[in-house]
């Protein structure tokens, strides 16, 4: 696992227990994989003129705890004990502000593209490691914690396959 230090994080509320894993998808520009742009977004160095889509992201301060690339490589941007800024306006089981109690995992992909085998393998391994460390975690998609606002990880994410791999 590669470790990068995103500046977009802060402390969780005192005494907050991590109880949720939120799965996202991301590609920058949308539908394009590889390249430096996801990293630049999470590190706060994305140049808004590098692509027309990026103008709408100017000044955005977001991060995730982890990114899983198409080849299955794993990058940590924020230590899981800290609060990454991945879920935005969100709620889970009646609780708002999911960033307070969740870990965010971005899987490089898009709503209209299947995910790669190495990504499922890395996600399953990471999930088991996180549950070994933090105890049982609820697992949800970004679309589950921000319905109507977000659609990821999207219809191509194979929830049955993933859940079978983490048992």
Is 121 one of the catalytic residues? no
Closest C-alpha among 118, 102, 107, 117 to residue 153: 107
The token pair at 12 is 């969780």
- Catalytic residue chosen out of the listed positions 2, 32, 40, 106: 106
Catalytic residues: 106
């Amino acid at each position: 696992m590669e470790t990068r230090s995103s500046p977009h994080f802060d402390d969780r509320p005192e005494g907050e227990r991590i109880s949720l894993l939120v799965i996202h998808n991301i590609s920058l520009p949308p539908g394009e994989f590889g390249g430096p742009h996801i990293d630049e977004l999470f590190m706060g160095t994305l140049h808004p003129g590098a692509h027309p889509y990026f103008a709408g992201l100017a000044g955005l301060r977001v991060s995730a705890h982890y990114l899983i690339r198409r080849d299955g490589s794993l990058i940590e941007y924020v230590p899981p004990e800290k609060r990454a800024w991945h879920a935005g306006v969100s709620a889970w089981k009646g609780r708002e502000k999911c960033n307070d109690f969740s870990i965010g995992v971005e899987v490089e992909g898009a709503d209209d593209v299947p995910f790669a085998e190495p990504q499922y393998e890395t996600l399953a391994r990471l999930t088991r490691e996180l549950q070994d460390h933090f105890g049982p975690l609820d697992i949800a998609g970004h679309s589950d914690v921000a319905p109507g606002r977000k659609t990821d990880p999207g219809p191509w994410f194979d929830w049955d396959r993933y859940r079978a791999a983490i048992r």
